[in-house]
Structure 1
Amino acid sequence: MTHELFLTTTRGLQRESPAMRLYEKAKRLGIWNPSDIDLRRDREDWQGLAADEQDILLRLTAMFQAGEEAVTLDLLPLIMAIAEEGRVEEEMFLTTFLFEEAKHTDFFNRFLTEVAGATGDLSRYHSENYREVFYRALPEALGALRHDRSAAAQVRASVTYNVIVEGMLAETGYHAYFTVLERQDLMPGTRRGIALLKQDESRHIAYGIYLLSRLVAAEPALWDVLEAQMNALLPAALGVIGDVFAQYDPIPFGLVEADFIDYGLAQFQKRVARLERARGMSPEEIVQTTNRVIDRDDG
């Protein structure tokens, strides 16, 4: 494919667009180095934990690690689909996605090797529900964009990645992890990394909701595609959360399964409500609404 023009030398960059606002945030907040985080006390704290406490944290980390690697591996087709449409502002922001997902993969690997001293195959911690989402649904939905870059394919990809994987599972998992460490005043380096990581993910989710909003507003029939994908993935996503707690009796750290199921569903329903409101909006209203969310979000 050849170029007929370049947007930056014709109309210029639309700096008030949601993607450019997110890009500005990514440049300001997303430049952190996992290698700079001090994990020395984290190693000491880890060694003082009971076996079941170590096991649940290792289980969660093994899920985070594979999940971050999965999105790093699977993300490129979405970037290519947006680039092919000539949406340069969105593509500029999406370049930060890949950098940040790779950085998260780096961070959790440091935890596994330097804090937990984990060796061997940790995929034993990946339940069938987890495999349904991360081993199959995520690469299938994003990989489909290699040969089908239609709006419907973009909807399926973004629902899978931004709404289910990031907006529900990652947020719930990080909430559980951070809650444990904060309550017990454990592993300050890991807590710092997760706080930074959550800021990155909040920008990714904000873009995903914007992408889905503009797609369903432009083609109302895509709502059926969006709803079908959410309904197809929700049981497995809830199963991922339940599978973690099902392995322990009693559950370490006094965690309560219902708290995290409720949290995950609340995050999911919040995003669905925003998407439902977007169905009747004009492009200008979607931009304004998204920018208000971006401006008040600390990520």
Structure 2
Amino acid sequence: MATTYTPSEMMDRNSRSNRYYRNAVERHWDPGEIALEQDVENLLEHVESTPGYDQQRWKGTLSGIAKFGAGEDAVTEDLAPLATVLEDLDDQLFLTTQLYEEAKHADFFDRYWREVIWAVEDELGWERSNPRDDVWFNEPYIELFDRNKKAQYRLLEEDTPENRAKAYCHYHLTVEGILAQTGYYGMQTSYGGEFEELPYLPGLVEGFTKIRSDEGRHVGFGMNQLKKLIREGVDPELIEDTVAELIPLVQGITEDDRFQPDDAEPVGLEEGALAAYAVEKHTDRMQQITDAAAEIPDVDELVRLEGDD
């Protein structure tokens, strides 16, 4: 006799988590296939043609890339506790794709440093820089990722709805939904060919575009989980207060100008643009989560940047 399955023992193909899982399967990409040769050529040309360009300015170019690379390493490690405590099959399916994608993102930034940054430094006769050197990470960056790690591992000690909400607030909403989204805006705008004073880096931009597509699903999943937790009784003020405590750290990261020479003319985005963008993302996310009538945007809308078609 054939086994009879109840719906709870099978996937819910119509659930948002399952749709995100299928979307991830359909949008697979390989970080090893992104062409990086033009980035090397364009960076070398930029360094050699810019009067007064020195290793201090080079550090300014590397700072954002280093922060992203280390951040992807950290979130790859810190997602494991959530994968352990989730009991819903479709949530588990989605999270397997997120773990895999975070690893791919870390892979891309590692490859970029090896094949682009070191290639340029070797050509210029400069000492190879270390992408994990403490110099790249200011205090707000360290504190934000420390707090995120603690919020995730707290689930292994006390898995409550409130602690789950805090975990999603730290990881999916703040680190990915606000900080990373702001970083995409800054990096893709800066190195997308819009500013003559900055090098055009097509490989880096393509990598960010692929990563942004992945993280749209990650952010949407976290927002949907938070919305469900609110419906089940978690106080919306807990979510608002948790994120409000983290926003100053995001702003401290986006305003990190330690590698900007004192006598250098500002180039690229106007001062304060990234901080303002972070606040805008925060406002949007909170309204979408806490307003019972608001819908979670689809993947493409969640990661849309100004200028996208």
Which TM-score tier does this pair reach, normalised by the shorter chain? 0.7 to 0.9
Contact 2:161–2:229 (CA<8 Å) still a contact in 1?
A: yes
**Equivalent-residue separation in structure 1 for 2:190 and 2:58 (angstroms):** 12
Match of 1:209 in 2: 223
Match of 1:25 in 2: 23
1:57: how far off? 2.5
Match of 2:91 in 1: 90
TM-score of the two chains, using structure 1 as the length reference: 0.86
Match of 2:71 in 1: 67
Contact 2:72–2:105 (CA<8 Å) still a contact in 1?
A: yes
Contact 1:113–1:119 (CA<8 Å) still a contact in 2?
A: no
Match of 2:246 in 1: 233
Match of 2:61 in 1: 57
1:294: how far off? 4.3
Amino acid at match of 1:64: F
**Equivalent-residue separation in structure 1 for 2:244 and 2:204 (angstroms):** 34
Contact 1:45–1:187 (CA<8 Å) still a contact in 2?
A: yes
1:61: how far off? 0.8
> Deviation per CA, 1:201-226, whole angstroms, max 9, x where unpaired?
111000010010000111143x2321
1:53: how far off? 5.1
1:253: how far off? 3.1
Match of 2:6 in 1: 10
Match of 2:276 in 1: 262
CA RMSD of aligned residues (A): 2.2
The equivalences for 1:235-250 within 5 A come to: 235-244=248-257, 247-249=260-262, 250=264
**Equivalent-residue separation in structure 2 for 1:295 and 1:115 (angstroms):** 29
Contact 1:53–1:253 (CA<8 Å) still a contact in 2?
A: no
1:296: how far off? 5.7
Match of 2:191 among 173, 181, 184: 181
Match of 2:204 in 1: 190
1:252: how far off? 5.1
**Equivalent-residue separation in structure 1 for 2:135 and 2:276 (angstroms):** 26
1:187: how far off? 1.8
The structure with the largest helix share of the pair is: 1
Give the number of the structure with larger relative contact order, counting CA–CA contacts within 8 Å between residues 6 or more apart: 1
- % same residue: 31
1:242: how far off? 1.4
Larger Rg: 2
> How many residues are aligned here?
277
Establish whether residue 104 from structure 1 lines up as the match of residue 89 from structure 2. no
**Equivalent-residue separation in structure 2 for 1:105 and 1:66 (angstroms):** 8
| Runs of 5+ unmatched residues, structure 2 | 48-52, 119-127, 305-309
Match of 1:5 in 2: none
What SS is found at the alignment partner of 1:243?
coil
**Equivalent-residue separation in structure 1 for 2:301 and 2:189 (angstroms):** 23
What SS is found at the alignment partner of 2:12?
coil
Match of 1:3 in 2: none
